[in-house]
Amino acid sequence: MNHEMIQWNCGNVQIEVSTLGAELQSVCVGSGKNLLWEKHDPLWNRVAPNLFPIVGRLKDDQFRFLDKDYSMKQHGFARDCVFTVVSNDMESLRLRLVWNDDTFSSYPFHFQYDVIYSAQGGLLWVDYEISNLGVDPLLYSVGGHPGFAIEGALEKYELRFEEKFAADRWLIDGAYYSGAKEQLEVDGELMLRDDLFARDAIVFRQPPFGGLSLWERGGKKLLDFVCSEWDAVGFWAKPGAPFFCIEPWWGWADSWADSGDLMEKPGMHTLEGGALKRHRYGFGIMD
């Protein structure tokens, strides 16, 4: 599939983006060190995919809409589509995917999906802008999946939050939510270790925090992560892999109890005909 790499910089933020999936390949802030991991396909064949029009996995990779069945793989198709560069200037880099006959066969909506990169305050901001180009309501979920570079064992790292909290972790059985929850109490810090991810990602719905930071234990801060309004957040790692993922989501995967009807699926957003909605997150080193 033909795609190209796009360079963009603003102040002390420099990024490289592939037109395939509008996916970040590198993000350097200040010192020039890449905050994202260097892709190694046997471990994971992505760097920071953009998830649309679903987040997570559908039961049997299918959904039903208006009595018709459609197939869609995990996290949707946008990450495997080539985007068009709409603008690349001092303000932002904007890439766009517009519905076509191929997307309509698996997702029967007339959409425009823009991924916009900008910089402010030492942070790279990622905006998802969804437009309904049709007349009837459009259903979607959207999210990010950036993998941040770490070195050595996961136990060397921790997440820090502005205040302590208790929140339900939604447990995953296979690729789907089991319906069970487990409360985690975090006293301002969450020490990372491999066994936390033995049952896949740590997922909080309606997370009781708007930001966090990733630190080396007893050492330096690697990055800040900010998302003031999200439906869910996922933390994911693979044993021995040199990355840690912080995933902002507006939507989530199916549970075993879900009906498969897209109009009944929890976590979906509805966009009226002609309407536009934007979702945002940012990361970097705050001033």
Q: Encode pLDDT of 231-274 as tens digits.
A: 999 999 999 999 999 999 999 999 999 999 999 999 999 999 99
* CATH top class, domain 5-284: mainly beta
Residue 286 has pLDDT above 90, yes or no: no
Mean of per-residue pLDDT scores for the chain:
96
Residue with tokens 């940012």: 282
For residue 238, what are its two tokens? 């693979």
Query: 258 Cβ partners below 8 Å, 6+ apart?
Result: 59, 264, 265, 266
Per-residue pLDDT reduced to its tens digit, 48-74: 999 999 999 999 999 999 999 999 999
Give the residue extent of every domain in the chain. 5-284
Q: Is the peptide bond preceding residue 49 cis, with omega within 30 degrees of 0? A: no
- What is the four-CA torsion angle of 49, 55, 250, 79, rounded to 10 degrees? 30
Give percent of the chain with pLDDT exceeding 70. 99
- What's the confidence (pLDDT) of residue 287? 62
Provide the pLDDT for residue 39. 94
Dihedral sign, CA of 141, 19, 61, 37?
Answer: negative
- Which residue from 179, 181, 173 is spatially nearest to 199, judged by alpha carbons? 173
Query: How many H helices and E strands in the chain?
Result: 1, 24
pLDDT, tens digit, for every residue of 9-55?
998 899 999 999 999 999 998 777 899 999 999 999 999 999 999 99
Q: Which residues contact 174 (CB under 8 A, 6 or more apart)?
A: none
With 70 as the cut, is the pLDDT of residue 7 above it? yes
Please say if the pLDDT value at position 226 is more than 90.
yes
Look at residue 211 and tell me whether its pLDDT is greater than 80: yes
Q: Give the DSSP letter string of 17-82.
A: EETBTTEEEEEEESS--BSB---BTTTBS-SSPEE-S-SS--GGGEEEETTEEEE--TT-SGGGSB
